[in-house]
Amino acid sequence: MFKRYFLAGIAAGILSGLAAFFYHRIYTEVVEVSFARLVSPQSIFSACLFADMLIALFCYTIRSFFKKDMEILTSILVAGSTLLSMIIPFMVSLPLDMEKPELFPGLVIPMQLLPALAWFVVKPFSIRN
């Protein structure tokens, strides 16, 4: 069972990493501002992969600890922690020479939703009860 969760986490991480990469490219071209010093495409992809692997490990741990299907609980906790993580971009202090710092949350906040969204998309296809 751990192998299914592990592979689902990798698949969701790759899916969310690719989506975040394309969002980053489109956003930087549309607003004509680059935040490459703060958020590089490699760090975006690795953060998405790490987040989905963490979600997979969390869901596996909850399922093995309670010995029954706790899909509603894990879904609520994953969605809630994703929404709470949206506070983080507002807490980051940007360099003073950064051009248009008010656009930084618009870049990062949608990307924080992608790992949870990818997990909710991939999980039904890979993990069956």
Of all residues in the chain, the percent with pLDDT exceeding 90 is 37
Residue 71 placed within a domain? yes
Q: What is the pLDDT of residues 29-56, one digit of tens each?
A: 998 888 878 888 899 999 999 999 999 9
| Residue written as token pair 């790759």 | 14
Q: How does DSSP assign 52-71, residue by residue?
A: HHHHHHHHHHHHHHHSS--H
In a domain, 95, yes or no: no
User: Is residue 98 assigned to a domain?
Assistant: no
- In angstroms, rounded to a whole number, what is the distance separating the alpha carbons of residues 124 and 129? 10
> Domain span at residue 56?
2-88+103-126
Q: How many Cα neighbours within 13 Å face the side chain of 85?
A: 17
Whether residue 129 has pLDDT greater than 70: no
Report if residue 79 sits inside a domain. Answer: yes
Measured CA angle at 26 (ends 22, 32), to 5 deg:
145
Whether 97 maps to a domain, the answer reads no
Quick check: helix, strand or coil at residue 45? helix
**56-107: pLDDT as tens digits:** 999 888 888 887 777 888 889 999 999 998 888 888 787 777 788 788 888 8
Residue 94 lies inside a defined structural domain of this protein: no
What's the structural domain count of the chain? 1
pTM, 2 dp = 0.85
Q: Which residue has the tokens 């929404």?
A: 83
